[in-house]
């Protein structure tokens, strides 16, 4: 069977992995998960007990969660090195370093902003404290990432890799949470502009928005979440 990537909407980090699958060009299927509804229901716990996306159903029918584990699974099958680099190469090391940075501190910096947004009866003091702390952390992680970006067109190498995929899924939260103008970080702004104009990213965002359009042809279609849970859930 083809692997199935479960991606979350709205504005899920997993959008980057949808784009990475397009870049990879290998047959796969997708499954759209409403993060505000069905992902929170008990049945989704059979796929991921932590009620998070992304999740991958491997070609063996096993459930694999956690972005870094899914990215490693794709990397191991990227024999043509379309989204990764030769094992043991300096580029592979740098890609892993950047993926680690993006998936931990950079992504985590947005947590106070998500918590503030999702507060049901926000106490104004706590809400504004969370907002202020989140904005400060996100800006600081942007400063650090700006300093890590080189002079190339992408985070590593001459074409988008898994590091760019992880970044593009999350970086747009800067505007979503109205943290600051991306122009404050010129290298990151240029990189994001390039990535966001990439056909695979445009395709992934369209899918996230519910527009079912064909991409490169590698995606063989969507599988309903209920079917995925029934067939592969614990
Ligand atoms: N450590 C996980 C975190 C994944 C994660 O936080 N996903 C978000 C969406 S981007 C989520 O599902 N959050 C739970 C929610 O929105 O309720 C990973 O890297 O895959």
Intrachain domains 4-83+200-232 and 90-159+161-197 with the same fold: no
Q: Which of these ranges, 47-61, 128-142, 206-220, has the smallest mean pLDDT?
A: 206-220
Alpha helices in 25-161 (DSSP H): 67-76, 90-101, 107-108, 111-118, 124-148
| Residue 151 CA to ligand 1 centre (angstroms) | 31
Nearest 5°: the CA angle 124, 129, 130 is: 100
Q: Where are the domains of the chain?
A: 4-83+200-232, 90-159+161-197
| CATH architecture of structural domain 90-159+161-197 | Up-down Bundle (1.20)
- Report residue 189 as tokens: 């702004």
DSSP letter (8 states) at residue 150: -
**Other beta carbons less than 10 A from residue 156's beta carbon:** 25
Q: How confident is the model at residue 142 (pLDDT cuts 50, 70, 90)?
A: very high
CA distance 108 to 153: 25
What separation in Å is there between the alpha carbon of 53 and the centre of ligand 1? 5
- Using pLDDT thresholds of 50, 70 and 90, give the confidence band for residue 215: confident
User: Which residues line the pocket of ligand 1, CB cutoff 6 A?
Assistant: 8, 12-13, 35, 52-54, 66-67, 103
pTM above 0.95, yes or no: yes
Q: What is the pLDDT of residue 216?
A: 86
Pocket test for ligand 1, best of 6, 7, 12, 13 (most atoms within 8 A of CB): 13
Structure tokens at 166: 């992880």
| CA–CA distance, 29 with 191 (Å, rounded to integer) | 28
Ligand 1 centroid, distance to 123 Cα (angstroms) = 25
Residue with tokens 């910096």: 109
Q: Tell me, which fold does domain 4-83+200-232 have in CATH?
A: Glutaredoxin (3.40.30)
């Amino acid at each position: 069977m083809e692997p199935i990537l479960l991606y979350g909407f709205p504005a899920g980090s997993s959008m980057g992995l949808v784009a990475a699958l397009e870049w990879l060009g290998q047959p796969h299927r997708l499954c759209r998960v409403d993060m505000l509804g069905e992902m929170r229901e008990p049945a989704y716990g059979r796929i991921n007990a932590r009620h998070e996306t992304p999740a991958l159903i491997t070609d063996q029918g096993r459930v694999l969660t956690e972005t870094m584990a899914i990215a490693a699974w794709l990397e191991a099958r990227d024999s043509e090195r379309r989204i990764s680099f030769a094992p043991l190469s300096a580029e592979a090391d740098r890609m892993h370093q950047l993926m680690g940075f993006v998936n931990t501190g950079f992504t985590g910096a947005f947590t106070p902003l998500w918590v503030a947004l999702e507060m049901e009866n926000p106490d104004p003091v706590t809400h504004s404290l969370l907002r202020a702390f989140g904005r400060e952390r996100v800006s600081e992680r942007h400063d650090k990432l700006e300093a890590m970006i080189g002079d190339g067109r992408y985070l590593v190498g001459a074409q988008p890799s898994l590091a760019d995929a992880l970044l593009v899924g999350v970086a747009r939260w800067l505007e979503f949470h109205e943290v600051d103008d991306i122009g404050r970080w010129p290298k990151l702004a240029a990189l994001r502009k390039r990535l966001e104009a990439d056909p695979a990213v445009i395709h992934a965002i369209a899918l996230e928005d519910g527009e079912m359009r064909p991409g490169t042809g590698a995606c063989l279609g969507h599988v309903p979440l209920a079917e995925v849970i029934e067939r592969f859930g614990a």
